[in-house]
Structure 1
């Protein structure tokens, strides 16, 4: 029995189809199909029902998968254990990261890593979906404020805050200039501002949503965003805000340079705890030398916690 063909068959069975297995392993579907066909020919039995809408193992395929998947996992873990002790990181390293984080910070880290570890083939996928390390074939995933997950472990690599910003040319009424109400009334009242919002918050945006911010003087203010433009990308929102379309609530790491250069004015930072950015990997896998090396390099990020 060919070991590679057996491994490919188990990957197809585990991931639920040739397509998902192809994406997880980054190997052509045709190659996986050929390997499974060769395994079937060598065993003289059909392992997968062809033509089914969803993957369906035959009785023989189910039996083979159940009896060999544990063994395959042990072999993989043994290989990872050896690799984790390797003095020089090598092999393929796949990382999933949010689009803004990847564009603003990760590109420079990636370039430094490639120069420092030429024997590692680094691949970074910039995406805002929540990728699963096991199902999607990633060694490391970057997530913002992730919920607790016993299947993932890792490090908090960065703390950030959300800032409410607007073009300096945009006219925003001053809360202190809205009539003759008392100071307590001013603090409790809200300021309505035209805003650029993301599609994710578009359903909630409007008079029912509020932005509670802390100003540079330490005062707490409440802003009510009135959407004038809805965009699905934070990078698009940032550009529209610089162009004067309205105020926006954006990560500091994305707009702090614009504020420093005067392209945007900061109305305040969002009240509440800071945002945490984590680098996570599967708790079921040993920490390899290549992942450890990348995590160590992330410690050089500005504002690393």
Structure 2
């Protein structure tokens, strides 16, 4: 109410007329006159001296007008700044992402984006924990799996398969499983989203002997290569180790959950240009070819063997 009256008062002073002010505001002249009278009554001062021919500010009215005009200018400037943000990406972009994805891919893509839009600054947290973008004030949370909260929007980036793997040394000591049911006699390296009681094989309920749990796919791969047990790992992270003989892929018929990586954000409505532009840029530059990332602007391919963990997600 006070801000509306201040706007009406400012317009009356600048138009030097109740009639013209009413026309510019799309109001009745009687309404404008009544609102000014109510404003003076509320403030307990006279702001305008009225005659049949002109309006004249009182001393206190002049001081009030100067403050009101500055407020209106600040408001107009704020609106203009918001509209500019929607026209050209600028401002602080806050992002969270899984550790391996951030190290091997996000840094390069974000760097290219910031080179193209120098008005962008960024804060990035690489983490294995679950991040609520609304609660933590994050613009984009890159995470494994679709968001469970229906108020959040999830944009799928890509997916990757998982394979059961073990080292040649482990298989020499414990034998090689020939069927999925044979896994019941083997040591399991599990990630947080895996059941602690059963192997993560779809359509099967095979008990597992859990010997190690961890929240990082690189750690799980290294433990498997050292002979600690069998692990269900993303195909991309095992490519080089299998090729070099440090890991052996097991039971190709076993179906493990597919890992899906999503960019999660609060809402599409009134989405800041910086968020929309980066999401589009990320999708446009997220090209995975033969286990390698082909970056924008002709940059050299980068091995992305550790991009995604379809199990690492600490639920809140």
Q: TM-score, normalised by structure 1?
A: 0.57
- Alpha-carbon distance, 1:302 to partner: 3.9
Q: 1:290 to 1:162 in 2, by over 3 A?
A: same
Q: 1:268 to 1:284 in 2, by over 3 A?
A: same
Q: Is the 8 A contact 2:95 2:140 kept in 1?
A: yes
| Aligned counterpart in structure 1 of residue 218 of structure 2, from 235, 242, 252 | 235
Q: 1:116 to 1:238 in 2, by over 3 A?
A: farther
2:286 pairs with 1:301: yes
Q: Is the 8 A contact 1:80 1:286 kept in 2?
A: no
Q: How does 1:94-113 map to 2 (within 5 A)?
A: 94-113=94-113
1:246 & 1:124 partners in 2: Cα distance? Answer: 34
- Alpha-carbon distance, 1:93 to partner: 0.4
Tell me which residue corresponds to 2:295: none
State the SS of the aligned residue for 2:157: strand
Q: Is the 8 A contact 1:97 1:127 kept in 2?
A: yes
Q: 1:144 to 1:78 in 2, by over 3 A?
A: farther
Tell me which residue corresponds to 2:189: 196
Q: TM-score, normalised by structure 2?
A: 0.55
State the SS of the aligned residue for 1:125: strand
- Gap regions ≥5 residues in structure 2: 1-74, 290-316
Q: Is the 8 A contact 1:160 1:253 kept in 2?
A: yes
Q: 1:248 to 1:238 in 2, by over 3 A?
A: same
- Alpha-carbon distance, 1:278 to partner: 1.1
Tell me which residue corresponds to 2:248: 265
Q: How does 1:76-91 map to 2 (within 5 A)?
A: 82-83=83-84, 85-87=86-88, 89-91=89-91
Residue deviations 1:213-250 (CA, integer Å, cap 9, x gap): 7xxxxxx9886542333334333222212222221122
Q: Is the 8 A contact 2:133 2:139 kept in 1?
A: yes
- Alpha-carbon distance, 1:264 to partner: 2.1
Rg comparison, structure with higher value: 2
1:232 & 1:141 partners in 2: Cα distance? Answer: 18
CA RMSD of the aligned region, Å?
3.4
Task: Provide runs of 4+ in structure 1 moved above 4 Å.
Answer: 77-81, 220-224
2:121 pairs with 1:121: yes
State the SS of the aligned residue for 1:235: helix
2:238 & 2:118 partners in 1: Cα distance? Answer: 33
1:222 & 1:258 partners in 2: Cα distance? Answer: 28
Q: 1:264 to 1:294 in 2, by over 3 A?
A: farther
Residue deviations 1:247-273 (CA, integer Å, cap 9, x gap): 112233433343344332222566266
- Gap regions ≥5 residues in structure 1: 1-73, 177-186, 214-219
1:103 & 1:268 partners in 2: Cα distance? Answer: 31
2:262 pairs with 1:278: yes
State the SS of the aligned residue for 1:169: helix
2:232 pairs with 1:249: yes
State the SS of the aligned residue for 1:131: coil
1:232 & 1:110 partners in 2: Cα distance? Answer: 25
Q: How does 1:64-213 map to 2 (within 5 A)?
A: 82-83=83-84, 85-87=86-88, 89-171=89-171, 173-176=175-178, 189-191=181-183, 192-198=185-191, 201=194, 204-205=195-196, 208-212=197-201
- Alpha-carbon distance, 1:132 to partner: 2.0
Residue correspondences, number:
209
State the SS of the aligned residue for 1:212: coil
- Alpha-carbon distance, 1:84 to partner: 5.1
- Alpha-carbon distance, 1:168 to partner: 3.2
2:182 & 2:97 partners in 1: Cα distance? Answer: 36
